[in-house]
Homo-oligomer: A and B are copies of this chain.
Amino acid sequence: MAFDKIDITFKEKLILESNDQLDKCEIAYETYGKLNKNKSNVILVCHALTGDQFCSGVHPSTNKKGWWDILVGPGKVIDTNFFFVICSNVIGGCQGSTGPSSINPKNGKQYNLDFPVITIKDMVEAQVRLIDALGIEKLFAVIGGSMGGMQALVWGALFKNRVNAIVPIATSYRHSAQNIAFHEIGRQSIMADPNWNKGLYNEFNVKPSRGLAVARMIAHITYLSEYGLQKKFGRNLQFSSSLSYRFDIDFQIESYLKYQGRTFVDRFDANSYLYITKAMDYFDLSNRRGGLSNLFKNNDATFCFFSFTSDWLFPTAETKTIIKSLNSSAASVSFVEIKTDNGHDSFLLKEPEFHKILKGFLSGLTKKLGL
């Protein structure tokens, strides 16, 4: 059985954690593979801050490979010859799901900053609606890295009866002070751009591109490791063999970062960046239902965590904290730390050990569940 891929519009209002609501909610999603007869082969893949629903194949806007094409596809780790993969754009996003650039049904104008502040749980509530609409009762697994891992954890904690396995990668049960700090500076940078116009830039036909580029550059450093940067770029010069003694580009690392900033603004909406970073900053599972130790009681899902040694945005210590809670609730939990220099971005890159273990986990679970 295959779905015709049509983005779904829900007309029942979605109540948000802020107590605000979205009267109409559109979810843009992609599917890969074929749903089996008893709908038991579904993997929900959750994207990170700047990702989208195009996790496999070629992205229709950028013409580049989808952000997880390395993992998702026929014969790959998340094998779409066997699994039916769903990936949806988070609400608050800018690739078709309802977000700040969507039309507010109340006044027929773009929401902009009238869009309500959303949370990771709100994003997941929208996903649950999508899964319901597709008639799927129980997911085989929810898998995601970084903010995608936060969504996976919410599925595991709050929708545990709807999912067999949770695979949180390079993530945490809460955003740290340092991570909030980096995000806040990114937001300040966007809001300091005069083109931002208090979020109304679309009405003025401009974009706060310089502010958004700086925000992206800040974030980008945190996705890499100090060692990785040094190894890849070191103090290599971009154009000549000597320093320019000007404020142009001297070093390759400067050129690389500027490129990252420049290309990002073409594909991402500044207000969405504000909303999604805020949702991540608000994320803290430990303040729900009496804390982490209670949150995962009586949980039948199987958890498999991955962290990366050089990831300083979501260091292994964060994963260990939640592992403790899961273990103290006798949950079925395993944890792998992958040795790598690729920093936080490791979850997106060619990491053979990570890929091999994830493939093994999915295959083992397939047998265990008698698929």
Which chain A residues have a beta carbon within 8 Å of chain B's beta carbons? 17-18, 20, 113, 116-117, 174-178, 180-182, 184-185, 187-189, 191-194, 210-211, 213-214, 217-218, 221, 224, 226, 229-230, 232-235, 243, 245-247, 250-251, 253-254, 257-258, 261, 274, 278, 281-282, 284, 312, 315
Contact = CB atoms under 8 A, between A and B. Distances in A.
Given A188-B214, A214-B214, A284-B235, A253 B180 contact: yes
Contacts of A116: 245
B246 A181 contact: no
Interface of A is mostly: helix
Contacts of A113: 247
Q: Which of A18, A178, A312 has the most CB of B within 10 A?
A: A178
18 contacts: A117-B246, A177-B226, A177-B229, A177-B233, A177-B251, A178-B230, A180-B253, A181-B254, A184-B217, A184-B251, A184-B254, A184-B258, A188-B214, A192-B193, A192-B211, A192-B213, A218-B218, A226-B315
B274 A176 contact: no
A247 B235 contact: no
A196 to B, nearest CB: 11
Given A235-B177, A235-B180, A284-B235, A245 B214 contact: no
B253 A221 contact: no
Contacts of A232: 177
Contacts of A184: 217, 251, 253-254, 257-258
Q: Which of A181, A188, A210, A258 has the most CB of B within 10 A?
A: A181
A286 to B, nearest CB: 9
Contact of A181 (B187, B189, B210, B221): B221
B188 A213 contact: yes
A245 B181 contact: no
Given A185-B214, A247-B274, A274-B247, A254 B192 contact: no
B187 A189 contact: no
Nearest to A278: B247
A66 to B, nearest CB: 27
B178 A221 contact: yes
A92 to B, nearest CB: 13
Given A188-B214, A247-B274, A284-B235, A176 B229 contact: yes
A174 B230 CA distance: 12
